[in-house]
């Protein structure tokens, strides 16, 4: 018996990662894969906060869990993970290695060239370092990507 394929979707609560989650969910359904949703939170060690670190972490863990539906949990064996790191790309790659991930689906905003040169891109670093293929989903989506509703209305017209 072969092991179930695993798809990882790192999320940062931006629209691009929501789009990536939609793609990851669809691919997991199509291939009977297990869906992993990971959020890498900033290290709060030296940051001033009026909330305890445990409260902040619990709130973020709830936001990650809210991204999954009961169907995701039942049919895709979906799991959520929360990690803390100052370098999200390294943490995503490490998670992929440790969990035996077969595909990473990531959203990307497509930063302006100057910002990209100064800060780099988490998605770009993951693509270079990941132990598996990485599908990047640009947001906003290009015109050639249509929702199912738009596609059906175009075909029936």
Among the residues of 13-84, which ranges form H helices? 15-31, 53-66, 70-75
Please write the tens of the pLDDT for every residue from 41-86: 877 655 555 667 777 788 888 888 888 999 999 999 999 999 989 8
Q: Residue ranges per domain, the chain?
A: 6-156
The whole-number pLDDT of residue 59 equals 83
Going by pLDDT thresholds of 50, 70 and 90, the confidence category of residue 117 is very low
Query: What mean pLDDT do residues 116-135 have?
Result: 80
Global pTM exceeds 0.85:
no
Please state which CATH number belongs to domain 6-156.
Answer: 3.40.50.620
The reported pLDDT for the residue numbered 140 is: 67
């Amino acid at each position: 018996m072969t092991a179930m394929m695993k798809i990882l979707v790192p999320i940062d609560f931006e629209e691009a990662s929501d789009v990536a989650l939609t793609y990851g969910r669809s691919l997991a359904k199509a291939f009977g894969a297990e869906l992993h949703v990971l959020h890498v939170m900033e290290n709060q060690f030296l940051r001033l906060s009026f909330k305890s670190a445990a409260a902040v972490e619990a709130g973020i863990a709830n936001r990650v869990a809210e991204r999954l539906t009961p169907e995701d949990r039942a049919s895709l064996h979906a799991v959520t993970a929360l990690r803390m790191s100052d370098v999200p790309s390294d943490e995503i790659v490490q998670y992929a290695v440790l969990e035996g991930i077969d595909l990473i689906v990531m959203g990307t905003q497509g930063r302006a060239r100057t910002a990209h040169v100064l800060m780099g891109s988490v998605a770009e670093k993951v693509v270079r370092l990941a132990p598996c293929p990485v599908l990047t989903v640009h947001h906003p989506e290009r015109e050639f990507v249509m929702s199912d509703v738009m596609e059906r209305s175009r075909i029936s017209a």
